[in-house]
């Protein structure tokens, strides 16, 4: 297939682009490089630098009788939860307005499929775990609210215009694949933060909340390997059905506490990792674990990397590689 990947210079977008290329697809990446990295765009993909809202129409074309592309995978987004709370205007514009412009470009070009990168943040604080797709959606931050709004827009386009659409709601993404991994200017994810601390790039790792109703008092999260996510996107492309918008959760189905993650990082790296306890962050649920049964049943997806040690090992390989590059550049 000929595919467009928005945000293909970012973490998940770059890994998915690499997986698509390995499967023989032709890929055009759109990214404005505000948070992505040019060297994260895999070799073999065509690259268009620019904001999705501004360039999508030109890239996709405007001849619905002869679409240029077979589908779009939409990863481009603002994704810092804390920032979304203090600067909601940036998120409503950067996520929702941009996605509406993309949906219009898809409609006018006749592009038949869309796979959307959504999030477990659409659920907010769950009443039960594991969380299924039937759980109430009640986001506790602007980031989650924008993703939920985009899902609603996609449903409307699927019903009204026959778009074949799938949204994939990720839980905590981690790991690396084929030399592609997490490399953000502002890092907020636990595993890379712990590994950066192991390398001495940070003084210590803060544990936000040690009084949760969990076995060791720290929050529990579901970590899904980035390559497993990429596999789900490929399956979603083939599953997408005209006139329907299907939504799937993607997680490993297992939960690991913050202290378990830190201890696993110590085991993998063989290094000491200084830790300090800090107060809970507002809106952080005690436990978030996915039910991915619908994706297993309908997409035929099954995560292959459910051992936390394997996930951390892949992330550690990439983190050390980044550290070596930074040292060589001095």
Rounded alpha-carbon distances, angstroms, from residue 63 to 59, 60, 224: 12, 9, 39
Burial of 284 (0-12, 13-18, 19+ CB in 10 A): middle
Q: Is the pLDDT of residue 95 over 60?
A: yes
Q: Is the pLDDT of residue 325 over 70?
A: no
pLDDT of residue 54: 97
Q: At what angle do helices 190-198 and 308-329 cross, to 10 degrees?
A: 50
Q: Is the pLDDT of residue 281 over 90?
A: no
Instruction: Indicate the pLDDT class of residue 327, thresholds 50, 70 and 90.
Output: very low
In tens, the pLDDT along 132-142 reads 999 999 999 99
Q: Which of 2-11, 106-115, 181-190, 304-313 has the lowest mean pLDDT?
A: 181-190
From CA 105, how far away is CA 102, in angstroms rounded?
A: 5
Q: Is the pLDDT of residue 330 over 60?
A: no
Residue percentage of the chain with pLDDT more than 90: 91
Q: Where are the alpha helices (DSSP H) in 31-92?
A: 52-60, 81-86, 88-91
pLDDT of residue 323: 64
From CA 244, how far away is CA 233, in angstroms rounded?
A: 16
Q: Where are the alpha helices (DSSP H) in the chain?
A: 11-22, 52-60, 81-86, 88-91, 98-109, 142-161, 190-198, 226-239, 258-269, 293-294, 308-329
Q: What is the mean pLDDT of residues 180-185?
A: 89
Strand partners, 119: 170
pLDDT of residue 214: 96
- Name which of 50, 56, 86, 84 is nearest 68 in CA terms: 56
Active-site hit among 11, 91, 123, 143: 143
In tens, the pLDDT along 246-255 reads 999 999 999 9
Q: What is the mean pLDDT of residues 24-52?
A: 97
Q: What is the mean pLDDT of the chain?
A: 95
Q: Is the pLDDT of residue 284 over 90?
A: no
- Name which of 289, 239, 202 is nearest 112 in CA terms: 239
pLDDT of residue 285: 86
Residue percentage of the chain with pLDDT more than 70: 98
294 SS3 class? helix
In tens, the pLDDT along 11-29 reads 999 999 999 999 999 999 9
pLDDT of residue 22: 98
pLDDT of residue 290: 97
State yes or no: is 143 an active-site residue.
yes
pLDDT of residue 283: 76
């Amino acid at each position: 297939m000929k595919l467009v990947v928005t945000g293909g210079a970012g973490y998940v977008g770059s890994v998915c682009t690499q997986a698509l290329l390995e499967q023989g697809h032709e890929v055009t990446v759109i990214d404005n490089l505000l948070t992505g990295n040019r060297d994260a765009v895999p070799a073999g993909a065509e690259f268009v630098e620019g904001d999705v809202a501004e360039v999508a129409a030109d890239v996709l074309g405007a001849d619905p009788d002869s679409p240029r592309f077979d589908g779009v995978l939409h990863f481009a987004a603002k994704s810092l939860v804390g920032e979304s709370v203090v600067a909601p205007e940036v998120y409503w514009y950067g996520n929702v307005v941009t996605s509406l412009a993309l949906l219009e470009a898809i409609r006018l070009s006749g592009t038949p499929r869309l796979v959307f990168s959504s999030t477990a943040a659409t659920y907010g604080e769950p009443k039960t775990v594991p969380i299924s797709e039937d759980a109430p959606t009640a986001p506790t931050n602007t980031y989650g609210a924008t993703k939920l709004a985009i899902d609603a827009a996609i449903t409307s386009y699927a019903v009204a215009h026959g778009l074949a659409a799938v949204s994939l709601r990720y839980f905590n993404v981690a790991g690396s694949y084929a030399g592609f991994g997490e490399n953000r200017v502002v890092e907020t994810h636990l595993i890379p933060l712990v590994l950066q601390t192991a390398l001495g790039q940070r003084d210590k790792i803060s544990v936000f909340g040690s009084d949760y109703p969990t076995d060791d008092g720290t929050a529990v999260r579901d970590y899904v390997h980035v390559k497993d996510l990429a596999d789900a996107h490929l399956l979603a492309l083939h599953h997408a059905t005209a006139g329907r918008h299907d939504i799937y959760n993607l997680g490993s189905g297992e939960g690991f506490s913050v202290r378990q993650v830190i201890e696993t990082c110590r085991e993998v790296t063989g290094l000491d990792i200084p830790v300090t306890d800090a107060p809970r962050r507002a809106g952080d649920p005690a436990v978030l674990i996915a039910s991915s049964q619908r994706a297993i049943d309908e997409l035929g997806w099954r995560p292959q990397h459910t051992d936390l040690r394997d996930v951390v090992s892949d992330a550690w390989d990439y983190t050390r590689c980044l550290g070596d590059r930074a040292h060589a550049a001095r």
